[in-house]
Structure 1
Amino acid sequence: MLWPFNHFSKPQAPLRGTIDAIYGMIVTQAREPSFYRAFGVSDTVNGRFDLLLLHLWMVLRRFRSAPGAANISQALFDRFCADMDANLREMGVGDLTVPKRMQAFGEAFYGRAAAYDAALAAGDEALAQALCKNVLNGEGMENARRLATYAKTALARLGGIDDAALLACAWTFPAPAEAGRSHSPGVMANESR
């Protein structure tokens, strides 16, 4: 009798199409023009990168609560890294420089993710301050509060999606302008307490 060698195989990798679809949703949302027109995000490589990191953080945060989603989270982060690598090479960055830039991208993501997690736990104003620093270059607290309201709305929407719908990409991010409009001065600080 032959021993079933596949009994000890690695867990099945997530479907590439699923990862590409989720990552595509993240990229599309990060490119939404209203972030740049109405929220004061700089329409530059850095501004777009920071919005990409914000949306990637929100989706990966949601995957933390999904049973068995560690493989999907890793595959999604790997897809982000592959995209950044391809973008660097397309911009003509040399082979010797790419690894250093990729390390900087990873550090940027993990640093922002830790800051956003801590700020989310500390309250709305802390989240607005973290977003102001990282996405808005320290300028425009009112826009940062609106962006924080958007982020909380997006996190709530992601949190309300069941795991099957999440993996099937049967969801959308909220419209930035509508989610950010729900913020009015002086109200946000009291909403989640």
Structure 2
Amino acid sequence: MFSRLFKRTSHERTVAGLYGRIVAQARETGFFAVANVPDTVEGRFELVALHAWLVMRRLRDQGPEAAAFNQALFDFMFADMDLNLRELGVSDMKVGEKVKDLASHFYGRINAYEGAMKPDAAPDALAQALDRNLYGSTLPDPADVATMEAYVRAQAAALDSFPPARLLAERWPSPRLQARHTRNSQE
């Protein structure tokens, strides 16, 4: 299924295109306006990491070519992070160290989110992982965390039902972040 996408230039375009769609989805204003994810460098990294994990999760069991694709997507993502850090003014001597730290944090997020999505995970495991990682040191409203949890579960389900070849070739089904409904807004 992936073999036709893995010609060198086609492969690089596919990786770049998918990464661009990940970043675009992570920049949706609803994350900041509806779920109150911190609109900071860290908050934006967390959203990109979350969406990259969702896509890599979908592709991971599709064979060795998909594993190579996920690695290329990871490499592209962290090359972009390297570039962004340089543009933010991080010194050349510190960029490598910072990128290595970000990669370590990314793997930590993957482990937390993967564990939270297992069938035998505690019912609040995903909410806890999102609170701890996505919201960092802020004290989010539990309703904001619940909004993000519902979004992540809906996104994972949509991606699970989407054919991998279409995911690589075009935009994937991306459920919009739904505003939480207060008692007054339902009346």
What residue ranges of structure 1 are gaps of 5+ in the alignment? 1-10, 185-193
What residue ranges of structure 2 are gaps of 5+ in the alignment? 1-5
Q: Which runs of 4+ in 1 moved over 4 A?
A: 11-14
RMSD: 1.9
Give the secondary structure class of the aligned counterpart of 1:136.
coil
Take 1:26 and 1:73, find their aligned partners in 2: how far apart are those partners? 13
Does 2:74 match 1:73?
A: no
Contact residue 129 and residue 141 of structure 1 kept, 8 A: no
Partner in structure 2 of residue 116 of structure 1: 113
Contact residue 21 and residue 171 of structure 2 kept, 8 A: no
Partner in structure 2 of residue 136 of structure 1: 135
Q: 2:22 aligns with which of 13, 21, 26?
A: 26
Take 1:21 and 1:181, find their aligned partners in 2: how far apart are those partners? 31
Does 138-147 or 26-35 show the bigger shift? Answer: 138-147
Q: Structure 1's 124 and 30: CA in aligned 2 closer, same or farther, altered over 3 A? A: farther
Does 118-127 or 88-97 show the bigger shift? Answer: 118-127
Does 163-172 or 78-87 show the bigger shift? Answer: 163-172
- In the TM superposition, residue 93 of structure 1 has moved relative to its aligned partner by 1.2
Give the secondary structure class of the aligned counterpart of 1:52.
helix
Answer 1 or 2: higher relative contact order, Cα 8 Å, separation at least 6: 2
Partner in structure 2 of residue 41 of structure 1: 37
Contact residue 131 and residue 148 of structure 1 kept, 8 A: yes
Point out the structure with max Rg over C-alpha: 1
Take 2:97 and 2:164, find their aligned partners in 1: how far apart are those partners? 36
Does 2:63 match 1:63?
A: no
Q: Could you tell me the TM-score, scaled by structure 1's length?
A: 0.82
Q: Could you tell me the TM-score, scaled by structure 2's length?
A: 0.85
Contact residue 58 and residue 164 of structure 2 kept, 8 A: no
Take 2:164 and 2:81, find their aligned partners in 1: how far apart are those partners? 27
User: Identity over aligned residues, as a percent?
Assistant: 40
